[in-house]
Structure 1
Amino acid sequence: MAAVRAFRWPWLWLGLWWLGIVVLIYVCMMPHPPQLSDLPDSDKAEHFIAYLLLAAAAVQIYAGPRAWRWAALGLLALGVGIEFAQGAWTTTRSADPLDAVADALGVAAGMATAATPWRDLLWRLERGGLRRR
């Protein structure tokens, strides 16, 4: 697990991240997923937020730029793959390229946290809090 940071409980954090991915796939393939808003195209914001959270979590969990790039590429492939699956495997959902764009923007925003002090938040919390050194 060299690509994962040296956490006390790396399997916990990695497991929660993968659980998030499984939940995302499930919700995206549901016939009638829950909507956070009744506004038109509000699902784009939902796509953005979901992928932002997954990408930001990947920055927290994985160690370094190479692992972050692989996580970002995997999330981008997931977003595009889900859109294809919605169009091909469901009768109640349709593929929407703008959803994939929202996914990609969310991944970019989440990966941008790598350039901020937030990058190490989970690691610092697990190591004993946010005490200033």
Structure 2
Amino acid sequence: MSIKTVLLRTLGLLAMVPATLTAIYFTALGMAWLISALNHPIRNSTTASIVMLLALAAGWAGIISSWQLYYHFLRSDVPPVWWRRAIAGLFLGYGALLMIFCFLPSGFSFIPVFVGIPMLVALVLLGLLISSKPESE
């Protein structure tokens, strides 16, 4: 087993799995809030509902792209043919993390860890994608 494989598996186990499980939990909370906002439009802003829906979609685009790149780089050293879509997904996820970091109250001491670890995962996967060498033709 190569060093890259060991590091990728460690990244997946210690960073990507907890981030995905946390995203599932907060997606359920976000969807409950969204349904409540749609049922009681006077109490909650429609704009906030749209922003919540966009943040959830962007976050999941980042998570799905991260897992696709993770499994791709476990099997191969060349960039995937869908590398543009992967970069777009990573940037969407990164944007969702920045929104979380900017809009949550600063009193939560876990926010840097909650947002920082997935940001590092995105940077590592983006670095792998950029440093991978295309197959010679």
Into which bin does the TM-score normalised by the smaller protein fall? 0.3 to 0.5
Larger RCO of the pair (alpha carbons < 8 Å, separation 6+)? 1
- Structure showing greater Rg: 2
Provide the TM-score with structure 2 as the length reference: 0.38
Whichever structure has more helix as a proportion of its residues is 2
